[in-house]
Amino acid sequence: MTDRKTVLITGAGSGIGQALAIQGAGMGFDVIIAGRSETTLAQTVSACGGGHVLPVVADVTTAKGRADICAAVGSSLDVLINNAGTLSVGRLRHMSDVDLERMTATNLVAPMALTRDLLPALSAPKGRIVNIGSVFGDIAYPFFAGYSATKFGLRGFSDAMRRELSGVGIGVTYIAPRATRTAAESAFRSLVEPMDMTLDSAEAVAAQAWDAILKGKRESFPKGKERFFVKVQRLFPSLVDKSVGAQARDPKTLAALDAPMETQISQPQ
């Protein structure tokens, strides 16, 4: 890379966001990382091994937080990665208003608002918007209803912005990881086996994302059964209804669901 480029990553204090920052710094990007915790951001800066990394302590769900992020970015941004997210797991009837509002604000409203605010900076270098979604944004999973809804929304936002910005040179990439080994795993760990989930490392997800970003891909899904099921979902959703519905009704799944577990985990924002 001859000319240094700048990437902004939200939710970069740990997990996928931290892995994205480490790999981005290793590729020569100037990296701006945003999150609510000064401590975890400092850990990411340290893990990046002395690269050009600027931490911004900010809550992306607030107007002030977004303004602080925009001030740190300045007039030019090559890549915006909307990664910050939150997850609540369980039966919908057990979800509080706070659970639902937190997921909607963090997973959907914040990426839309931050993208809007950073469009002028992205316009100058004809940059790229990258939204970290989920396979659950295609395959709506039982007991992840609110989370799936926000990721469906983020996928729709990605498609709409790709078309809206097609005349100005800003690209949009949607990344759809499957379940990942991060702090959020504790919210659904008991469901991994009965629902036959495959987990990837944060580093693998970040590598998949960077590959798609650098190649200017429209979207990126993990290799394996999930990619196949996404195609089936889009063409024959009733088949997925039967398969995933059977998992949801399975006594092992119901027993795991009733086991004590954390219902809400946030990726650092």
**How many structural domains does the chain have?**
1
Q: Which domain holds residue 202?
A: 6-266
Classify residue 164 as exposed, middle or buried by CB count within 10 Å of its CB (0-12, 13-18, 19+): exposed
Per-residue pLDDT tens digits for 174-200: 999 988 877 666 677 778 777 778 888
In a domain, 148, yes or no: yes
In a domain, 22, yes or no: yes
Beta-bridge mates of residue 200: 180
Task: Give me the pLDDT at residue 230, please.
Answer: 86
In a domain, 69, yes or no: yes
Per-residue pLDDT tens digits for 45-68: 999 987 799 999 999 999 999 999
Residue 31 CA to residue 216 CA, distance in Å, equals 19
Tell me the pLDDT of the chain averaged across its residues: 91
Residue 209 CA to residue 199 CA, distance in Å, equals 16
* DSSP-derived secondary structure for 132-145: E--GGGTSPPTT-H
In a domain, 1, yes or no: no
Closest CA to 130 of 234, 229, 37, 209: 209
Q: What tokens appear for 263 in the block? A: 């219902």
The pairing of beta strand 86-88 with beta strand 264-266 = antiparallel
CB contact burial 1-40 (16+ within 10 A = b; e otherwise): eeeebbbbbbbbbbbbbbbbbbbbbeeebbbbbbbbeeeb
CATH number at residue 233: 3.40.50.720
Residue 187 CA to residue 262 CA, distance in Å, equals 5
Q: What is the mean pLDDT of residues 217-230?
A: 86
In a domain, 181, yes or no: yes
In a domain, 194, yes or no: yes
Q: What is the mean pLDDT of residues 24-38?
A: 97
Per-residue pLDDT tens digits for 198-215: 888 999 999 999 999 999
Is residue 194 within 8 A of residue 247, CB to CB? The reply is yes
In a domain, 201, yes or no: yes
Whether pLDDT at 267 is above 60 = no
Write the DSSP symbol of residue 186.
G
In a domain, 50, yes or no: yes
* DSSP-derived secondary structure for 43-109: HHHHHTTSSSEEEEE--TTSHHHHHHHHHHHTT--SEEEE---EEE-S-GGG--HHHHHHHHIIIII
Task: Give me the pLDDT at residue 261, please.
Answer: 53
Whether pLDDT at 82 is above 50 = yes
Is residue 82 within 8 A of residue 108, CB to CB? The reply is no
Q: What is the chain's percent helix, strand, coil content, to nearest 5?
A: 50, 15, 35
Is residue 55 within 8 A of residue 49, CB to CB? The reply is no
For the ranges 96-105, 124-133, 138-147, which has the lowest average pLDDT?
A: 138-147
Residue 115 CA to residue 268 CA, distance in Å, equals 18
Active site residues per annotation: 147
Is residue 202 within 8 A of residue 182, CB to CB? The reply is yes
